[in-house]
Structure 1
Amino acid sequence: MSAPLPSALRTRFLKYIKEGLSGRAAAARLKVSPATGARWARQIRTRGHAEPSIQGRPPGSGKLAAYRGFIEELVAQDPDITLFELRDALAEAEGVDVHHSSIAKLLTRLGFTYKKSRWSPPSGDAHGSGNSVPSG
């Protein structure tokens, strides 16, 4: 999906509508399509503005959202677990069939990183392990 047209353009469109122009006439002045002008004019009438709506799925929803804790627990138990093993464990325990790349995306969103052959949990310490030896 393409990016929405700029808010400055929408603001100028709103100004033209308030001056009494039709949606098509305002669209012609701003060199946008008549369909866009009609759609923006309808949005102004119903919502009071023509700002773009939020695009995409809301965060936290999706097929794996309900199984997040289960997947985190499996990775905590065995950091060397593969995506295919995670997929199979999820299918066996919960009856959910997903592609392994969906599990990888979830783990990435949760802050896990993949280094060589191991899923590493997100670190709260910027220096790595958090184990420091006092100098003295």
Structure 2
Amino acid sequence: MRVANFVEAGHSCRAAAGNFAFSESFAIKLVRRTRDTGSRAPARQGRPPGRGKLVPYEAFLIQTVEARPTITMPELAARLLDEHGVVAAPAILSRFLCRRGFTYKKHLMAAECARRRAK
């Protein structure tokens, strides 16, 4: 806020950087972001939600886990590779399913998984 206000008061980005002990690059990028977006907030990092290589196979993954709740992630990765030709690490599959309401507990029945996911 202080850097942006200093520049808005008529000083250069380089002068603001020197005055507040920030890099010149930071001040220049901050002013550019403020000018382009109207916001001084940092840009969101990471992949936008709802995208990724597993999203098109969501129905397949959920049906597979509901049909066999005790399936392991390496087994699920192997089925995904065999049936769709998509390589996915077991950890990615686990995170993907956890975001959709599944848990680590292997003794849950398929109906219990579906009920939790519906919440």
| TM-score, normalised with respect to structure 2 | 0.82
How far apart are residue 51 of structure 1 and its match? Answer: 2.4
Q: Relative CO higher for 1 or 2, CA cutoff 8 Å, sep ≥ 6?
A: 2
Q: Does residue 44 of the first structure (1) align with residue 34 of the second (2)?
A: yes
> Residue 33 of structure 1 is aligned with which of 20, 23, 26?
23
CA distance in 2 between counterparts of 1:77 and 1:125 reads: 17
> Residue 116 of structure 2 is aligned with which of 108, 120, 123?
123
Unaligned runs of 5+ in 2: none
Give the aligned partner of residue 76 of structure 2.
86
Greater fraction strand? 1
- The letter for the 1-side match of 2:7 is I
Unaligned runs of 5+ in 1: 1-10, 127-136
Percent of aligned positions that are identical: 34
Greater fraction helix? 2
Question: RMSD of the TM alignment (CA)?
Answer: 2.3
CA distance in 2 between counterparts of 1:124 and 1:67 reads: 17
Asked if 1 retains the 8 angstrom alpha-carbon contact of 2:100 and 2:117, the reply is no
- 1:43-85 CA-to-partner distances (Å, cap 9, x unmatched) read 3343444321111111111111111111000011111111122
Determine which structure has more spread, i.e. the larger CA radius of gyration.
Answer: 1
